[in-house]
Amino acid sequence: MRILKILGEEYQVVYGNSREDRVDFKEGKIYVNSKNTPSGKLIKEALSDYLYTELLGMYEKIKNEKKLEILGDVKFEVKEKIDEKKNRIAKLKHNKITVKLNAISLPQEALKYMMAHEMAHLITKKHNERFWNIVKTIYPKYEIGQDLIEKHENDLKGNITGI
Ligand SMILES: [Zn+2]
């Protein structure tokens, strides 16, 4: 039985035979129907979409709170690997935040911290006092998210689907 972690929750992967390629998330299960595309690829695409939507939602929320003045618009991209560095889960470059696909396994608080961290880098590149003040402004309980990332360290490495 294959189990995948999504936003800190475990999902069982169920394979079906459908006449189309599709993936559905329902009540703790991921239903995978593969016709033309290999199931591993379908799952990765579905997880990538899921994470992208989640990140965008978080970003809109932070933007609407108006605690931080954001110039221009931030773009997002989900990738399987960032810079070949195994432990890196996110990176900011030219107003684009790239997030590692494995981050989908993290609980929401951890993603929220990750987002606050990268958004603070929009203001300053260094991890200085000013930086941490911005992180705190965006997400006052950011330390909860930090701890969760450490706890989920193993989920962030390797191939998320194992396929
Ligand atoms: Zn940083």
Say how many Å lie between the CA of residue 52 and the centre of ligand 1.
20
CA 121 to ligand 1 center in whole angstroms: 7
Model-level pTM?
Answer: 0.92
How crowded is residue 95: how many other Cβ atoms within 10 Å of its Cβ? 12
Ligand 1 mean position to 53 CA, how many Å?
22
- Residues 6 or more apart from 161 whose CB is under 8 A from it? 4, 40, 43, 44, 47
Q: Residue 16 corresponds to which amino acid?
A: G
Residue with tokens 């432990």: 87
Q: What is the CA(30)–ligand 1 centre distance, in A? A: 33
Task: Give DSSP secondary structure letters for 46-59.
Answer: HHHHHHHHHHHHHH
Distance (angstroms) between ligand 1 centre and the Cα of 35 equals: 41
pLDDT tens readout for residues 98-145:
999 999 999 999 999 999 999 999 999 999 999 999 999 999 999 999
What spacing in Å lies between the alpha carbon of 108 and ligand 1's midpoint? 19
HSE toward the beta carbon, residue 147, CA cutoff 13 A = 4
Å from CA of 106 to ligand 1 middle: 18
Contact 142, 136 (CB under 8 A): yes
In what side-by-side order are the strands of the sheet with 96-100? 75-79, 96-100, 90-93
Q: Which candidate, 4, 126, 1, 110, places its Cα nearest to that of 55?
A: 110
Q: Domains of the chain: which residue ranges?
A: 3-156
Which has more confidence, 85 or 115? 115
Question: How far apart are the C-alpha atoms of 25 and 90, rounded to whole Å?
Answer: 25
Please give the pLDDT value at position 87: 74
Architecture of domain 3-156: 2-Layer Sandwich (3.30)
